[in-house]
Chains A and B, each alone.
Chain A
Amino acid sequence: MKEIVIISGKGGTGKTSITASFASFAATKAVLADCDVDAADLHLILKPVIRNRTEFRSGYKATIKLDKCTGCGKCLELCRFEAVRDVTTWDKLPGIIYTIDPVACEGCGVCVRFCPSQAIDFNEEICGEWFISDTRFGPMVHAKLGIASENSGKLVTLVRKEARRIAQEKGAEYVLIDGSPGIGCPVIASLTAASLALIVTEPTVSGVHDLRRIAMLTKKMGIPAMVCINKWDINQSITEEIRQITDSLGLQFAGLLRYDKAVTASQRQQKTLPEYSSEGVVRDVMNVWECVVGAAEQKGFKKGIDHNGNEH
């Protein structure tokens, strides 16, 4: 079983449209995982029917018991996350007590532990929900991070673990993972120990810049990576530059996807690209899929990628 992660560094390059198309091509041989837990969109195309929902509990938040707070200010002094705010009170001396801004609270527990009046509670947080669902292309695991919640990396890890478990149970050949933009904690959690990463970029100066950074991350983590260029015909000279960068970084090239209005049109009809059309960009995505599957099956793919991850 291979875990294929679709990532991009830069947002909005087409990860979700490509993941949904791959789900179509893989027919029922894949389990799908939406690991973009703070802006999930894959469900808009795959329309999952939720079979199982579970609360995601992770981390703690501090709350000051106003009746016990003496206003000594120890929490304000110790908190490094600017989460302690003062409140004027007319009920007691010295006239100031403190509250915790739940959004800024990092859940470290320092104020709880060192409050001389034991006036601070520390409660486990519900940070969202995750789901096991059925789609027309097979099982899907997805999640919704709570509003202004933390721990997206842990939620990604949980979603992937469930997807892997289901894939093993069903004997599925692939887990297809829709990743999030950036290079931080949810992306690292999406990539850890994956079989292959497909980096989706676009021919813009931002696309090039962000490709270099995400490629350095995959190298550093030892994850084999391939590159495809979406909307390649928007700027052909930058497309050429990306092909050269791909070579120089020792990454495999997975193909070019043309600019095609069918991408948004299919999205509006809640269809994957292959369900919407059999021409234009769909053929390009098909070629990329074949390339990715070929690479995932090929042994020793990791050869040719050096692991020293320096930024250049």
Chain B
Amino acid sequence: MKIAVASGKGGTGKTTISTNLALYVAGQGYDTVYFDCDVEEPNGHLFLRPVITKKEASSIPVPVIDESKCNACGECVRFCEYKALVRLGKIVMVFPELCHGCGGCTIGCPNHAIQEQEREIGIIEAGQSGKVGFVHGRMNIGEAMSPPLIRDVLQQIPNKEVNIIDAPPGTSCPVIASIRDTDFVVLVTEPTPFGLNDLGLALDMIRELGIPHGVVVNRAEDGNRDAESFCEKRQVEILAQIADDRRIAECYSKGELILIGVPGVQKRFEELWQAIRKRLMA
């Protein structure tokens, strides 16, 4: 079973929910792995502090032109949708950072002058944090495209009972690459105008993808029903609420798991896990 944790807005608590949920679920006796797909700014390792046992590069294939065979016909330049190939006089130049690695130029070159070479865009590390399996990707600084690395991180999905995927913020391609093949998505929000506006965008996205989903309201305040009314209006289930509590903020700031560090939090994760299970069994 694959469960993703996403949000429109950044900083609502995706990593807090996903790392602690992974710990909770593993504690229930399930074989559990945590995947950090926020490869631009991965933070899960700061909380789970895994022992890394495997490290490998993630790369995409980019074209390399054999100048002895290239007659600068320009076929590849015309074909490339990403303007990663440019003809300058009698030579064709490659701009590898613009290349999406589709392979079209290589297959289509009439002179067979193009070969592909792997270009590293980031690294993948895997290991173990107590009972929780751990995988994350870390994109190299200056790279623009995270989806190929995210797809590589998710390729590491072993045959475990519960796979928890920590998605990046936003609603565009990196998020979609992280959640598109999951069974359930937990959307984390906070009861502020920004939080709820971005939850609305995330709901639009997830309904387009057609994945079952529910909401966790983080930093919930007594007497503030904004999130409840919003979720009622958008007809989405609230799976659990986590109170706005300075102890949680301080525990998080130090890189500690709130399931261990803050009394009473255990109950919230139990509710969340039960709500997810109920939805997945239905």
Q: Which residues in A have some Cβ–Cβ distance to B below 8 Å? A: 8-13, 16, 38-39, 41, 44, 59-60, 78, 80-82, 103-104, 106-110, 113-114, 145, 147-150, 152-153, 180-188, 202-206, 209-210, 213-214, 216-217, 220-221, 234-235, 238, 264, 267-268, 270, 309, 311
Can you name the residue of chain B whose Cβ is closest to the Cβ of A10?
Answer: B41
Task: List 20 A-B pairs, Cβ < 8 Å.
Answer: A9-B41, A10-B10, A11-B10, A39-B198, A44-B193, A106-B102, A113-B104, A113-B108, A147-B205, A150-B173, A152-B172, A182-B38, A185-B145, A204-B255, A206-B255, A213-B141, A220-B142, A235-B250, A235-B253, A267-B194
B146 within 8 A of partner (CB)? yes
Tell me the bound Cα distance from A106 to B173 in angstroms. 10
In the complex, chain A residues whose CB is within 8 Å of the CB of B170: 38-39, 152, 180-182
Are A44 and B194 touching (Cβ within 8 A)? yes
Which residues of A lie under 8 Å from residue B10 when comparing CB positions? 8, 10-13, 39, 181
Task: Please give, as numbers and ranges, the residues of chain B lying within 8 Å of A81 by CB-CB distance.
Answer: 102
List, in ascending order, chain A residues with CB within 8 A of B176's CB: 103, 148
Q: Mark B168-196, 1 if CB is under 8 A from A, else 0.
A: 11111110100010000000000011100
A203-B253 contact, Cβ under 8 Å, with A11-B169, A268-B192, A268-B193? yes
Contacts of A210 in B (CB 8 A): 41, 43
A103: chain B residues at CB < 8 Å are 176, 180, 208-209
Q: Is the Cβ of B141 less than 8 Å from the Cβ of A183?
A: yes
> Given A106-B100, A206-B46: A309 and B141 within 8 A (CB)?
yes
Distance to closest chain A CB from B253 (angstroms): 4
- Which of A60, A106, A186, A234 interacts with B253 by CB under 8 Å? A234
Chain A CB within 8 A of B51 CB: no
- CB neighbours (8 Å) of A311 from chain B are 141
Residues of A within 8 A of B103 (CB): 78, 80, 110
B8: Cβ under 8 A from any A Cβ:
yes
Verify if B81 is at the interface (C-beta below 8 Å from A).
Answer: yes
A147 and B197 in contact, given A108-B104, A209-B43 (Cβ under 8 angstroms): no
Q: Contact: B139 with A183, CB < 8 Å?
A: yes
Which residues of B does A touch, CB under 8 Å? 8-12, 15, 38, 40-41, 43, 46, 79, 81-82, 100-104, 107-108, 139, 141-146, 151, 168-174, 176, 180, 192-194, 197-198, 201, 204-205, 208-209, 249-250, 252-255
Hey, which chain B residues are within 8 Å of A13, CB to CB?
10-11
For A221, the closest partner residue in chain B by CB is B142
Name A206's closest neighbour in chain B (CB-CB).
Answer: B43
Cβ–Cβ < 8 Å partners of B46 in chain A: 205-206, 209
A109→B79 contact, CB < 8 A: yes
A147-B198 contact, Cβ under 8 Å, with A181-B169, A267-B192: no
- The listed residue with most B CB atoms (<10 A of its CB), out of A9, A181, A234, is A181
The verdict on A41 contacting B197 (CB below 8 Å), with A113-B108, A148-B176 known, is yes
Q: A266 → chain B, closest Cβ, in Å? A: 10
**Given A11-B10, A147-B205, A184-B139: A38 and B171 interface contact (C-beta under 8 Å):** yes
Min Cβ gap A32→B in Å is: 16
Select one of B8, B102, B198 contacting A110, CB under 8 A: B102
- Which of chain A's residues have a CB closer than 8 A to the CB of B250? 234-235
Contacting pair A110 B41 (CB below 8 A) = no
Question: A11 and B11: CB pair below 8 A?
Answer: yes
| Nearest CB of B to A85, in Å | 12
- Known A185-B144, A205-B46, A235-B253: A39·B8 in contact at CB below 8 Å: yes
B138 to chain A, nearest CB (A): 9
Q: B15 contacts A153, CB within 8 Å?
A: no
Contact partners of B174 in chain A: CB under 8 A: 182, 184
Cβ contact within 8 Å between B254 and A235 = yes
CB-CB under 8 A from B252, the residues of chain A are: 204, 206
CB distance from A155 to the nearest CB of B (A): 10
**B102 to A80, Cβ gap below 8 A?**
yes
Q: Closest approach, in angstroms, between the C-beta of A193 and any C-beta of chain B? A: 15
Partner among A11, A110, A183 whose Cβ is within 8 Å of the Cβ of B9: A11
Add 20 more A-B contacts to A12-B10, A12-B11, A113-B79 (CB < 8 A). A10-B41, A11-B9, A12-B169, A38-B201, A41-B9, A78-B107, A82-B151, A109-B102, A110-B102, A147-B208, A184-B143, A185-B145, A202-B253, A204-B255, A205-B43, A206-B46, A209-B46, A238-B254, A264-B192, A270-B193
